[in-house]
Structure 1
Amino acid sequence: MNGMEGLVSIIIVAVVVIFVFSMFMSFVPLGLWISALAAGVKVSIFNLIGMRLRRVVPSRIILPLIKANKAGMDVNANQLEAHYLAGGNVDKVTDALIAAQRASIDLHFEKAAAIDLAGRDVLEAVKMSVNPKVIETPNVSAVAKDGIELLVKARVTVRANLERLVGGAGETTILARVGEGIVTTVGSAAAHKEVLENPDKISQTVLAKGLDAGSAFEILSIDIADVDVGRNIGAQLQTQQAEADKKIAQAKAEERRAMAVAKEQEMRAEVVAAEAEVPKAMAHALREGKLGVMDYYDMRNVMADTDMRQSISNSGKPKQMIQNEKDNKPKDSI
Structure 2
Amino acid sequence: MTGPTSPAPRRSALLRAATAVAVAVPLCTAGWLGWRALDDSGPAGAAASATPAAAPPAATASGDPGQATPTTPPTSTAPTGTPTGTPTGTPTDSPTGTPTPTATPESPAPGPGDLAGRTVVLDPGHNPGNFSHPTEINRQVDVGNGRKECDTTGTETDAGYTEADYTLDVTRRARALLTARGAKVVLVQDGDRPWGPCVDERARAGADAHADVALSVHGDGGPASGSGFHVIMPAKVVAGKADNSAIIEPSHRLGLLLRDRFHAATGEPYADYIATDGLDTRSDLGGLNLSAVPKVFIECGNMRNSADARRMTDPQWRQQAAQGIADALAAYLTTR
TM-score by length of structure 1 reads 0.26
Max Rg structure? 1
Identify which of structures 1 and 2 has the higher relative contact order when contacts are C-alpha pairs closer than 8 Å and 6+ apart: 2
Q: Which has the higher helix share?
A: 1
